[in-house]
Structure 1
Amino acid sequence: MLSLYVHIPWCLRKCPYCDFNSHELRGEIPADTYVAALLADLEQELPAVWGRTVETVFIGGGTPSLLPAEAVDRLLSGIRSRLSLRPDAEITLEANPGALERGRFAEYRAAGVSRLSIGVQSFDDAQLARIGRIHDRGQALQAVDEARAAGFERINLDLMFGQPGQTQNAALADLDTALALQPGHLSWYQFTLEPNTWFHRHPPALPGDDLIAAIQDAGQARLAEAGYARYEVSAWARPGHGCQHNLNYWRFGDYLGIGAGAHGKLTDAASGQIRRYAKQRHPRRYLQTAATPQRIASEQILGETDILFEYLLNALRLESGFRREDFRAATGLPVEPLESALQRPAEKGLLETGEWIRPTPRGRRFLDDLLADLLPD
């Protein structure tokens, strides 16, 4: 499977917890210039994927909803004219409720976007202010209403728990509000302090491990009761609403990456070599180099040990896990190194190693420890 990731690097204000490649916008977003650069970047990638069909597109950021609809339309039209894009491709766009103009969702839908991912994070105004978000509860609720009115049937809500100063009741109230909105998909994940962020340098007080565990247990029960199935560590969906783009990542599929700081992973059909690359991170530098080989800031051919660990790092996030034939097909490697890597966590009771290889309930709870056991000595 081949996917395409498109990175929009600007936001109105950098959140203090965010470690993504995002830059505060100074003035107007250079939409025309940036879309032209994205398409020039894509043209450089084409020889590596001739004859292959792109099945999903994900426009992430930053804040992609800063782009006017006509820019998204030009971008998607340009992608279709250069690539073989599956007619019913899942095309996702991330949106910030605080960076939207009324009516824009309908225009995105008309441009071909089929799935929206709305960064809510919380429905509590005080909590939103505490974590530096630019929207409030009313804007979040309005964004969901407008998405539905625009005809979007596939909607994801991003929601964090374990935020600074958050109680169990507050975290579950957020979840209950999200469930009442009945989105097809919920990304419900734990707030963490990431390196190179404001909160990492000035850490706020976070809920303790026991409180986090209690929130997780109660929240997972509510999600299941509401008809949502967990298919990845932090992804819950109703039937037919799983994110196909992210599933491709977790199954170790291939993906092109265009845009400032975008990453890609491609498998060479002839040699079987797997190449990872990253584009220039700073928007100014990216715009200068998008049509040249210098747009690539770094690249690496993965060795067998890297391939093994990266596959496990992704596939063990899936609730279903994976089979040995899935591993062989995705990596081109024999299963002997896999069996050796699985031995230690299996002996600790963190991993099932039958037909399907997946974390045990204990392994799911302590997934970081499980993954650490898989690292080569």
Structure 2
Amino acid sequence: MAKILWLNWSGGGNLPPSLGIARVLTERGHAVAFAGRPEMVPRVEEAGFRAIELTQAYTQVDLYPQGTFLTRMSCYLTSPAVVAQVRSVVASERADLILIDAMFPAALSEAPGFGCPSAMVCHTFIFRQLEMWRGMIARLDKMRQQAGFEGLPALDDLWRTRDRIIVTTLAEFDTEPVPGWEMVRHVGPVLEDERVAVAAELPWAASDRTPLVLVSFSTGFEQRMVDKLQRALDALSELPVHVVATTGGIVGPDELVAPANAVVLNYAAHDPIMKRAALVVTHGGHGTAMRALRNGVPMVIIPGLAGDQPFVAAAVQEWKVGRALPGDADTAAMKSAAQEVLSEPFYRRNAETRANALAGVNGASNAASAIEALLRPAEARRLA
């Protein structure tokens, strides 16, 4: 059995697949603990794993540029106080291997001194959006420097020096590999549900032939957009469809005016809904898009604030499995796109073709195997 420490960014699309990989590692006899910001702790403990709270997550937040959704995020991901606490936690845990989220420069910058193998985990495309990734890490670091601290290394120095980069998407869905990135391993999507996502009882019989539309935007509080959800509900209100909207706990159902053809839920398992769905209206999170494709369901994507969402939207349009709209799309544009995707059979056929590529792919198991391959040398050294 190996001890594995996961230095985590608990974003909406990051924590659930991380928990899925940790579940498989645990089933194989390893002990996995997560260290992360306070918001992460109850979610990790609910999933049955040990959680270590990084209590210094926001102690320096007042020094960071204010007035942006990135303020708290950047403080947690880059601040010297977090760097120091990461160093302390790693020393006390004495893990055999460290896993680090791709979004966590404070932890990645310390990895060369950990004294054990380290792997980075990226929960969306890597090569499709490599320049975006470079820009995002640079933007976070710029905010650190504006807070008065010395800059961190650039993305290439943070990422390419890891023993392995595990990417939870299919290689064939990403673009061609870039020379010098041979440490990258595509393992396939990890579509894990958190325990709050239970099967929902819908008000329409399974035999009802009316097309069903799932509306689901981000579960990250930084991307809370009540008006966007309302526009989507309004757009679908006059169409001959049933609508299920899930808010992920960041928007209260009572904050929305649900039309007669819709139900709004805080949480619900998406797979049972998608098995009935004719369309998914979503923000372009990689996990939701891959889940829709695994079920052969076309999409309308209205990207949110996360950097990868426009790239997921562009891929969906490139593959002709749905329509991509601007992030500020109005009700009329959403309605028109939904009508088009529902009425044109080729969108569904193309989505079903993508489902064939995902059939039988177990991203969590593949990721666990890639991690165990790094553990073997470490275990050998420990037993010597």
TM-score by length of 2: 0.31
- The structure richer in strand per residue is 1
TM-score by length of 1: 0.32
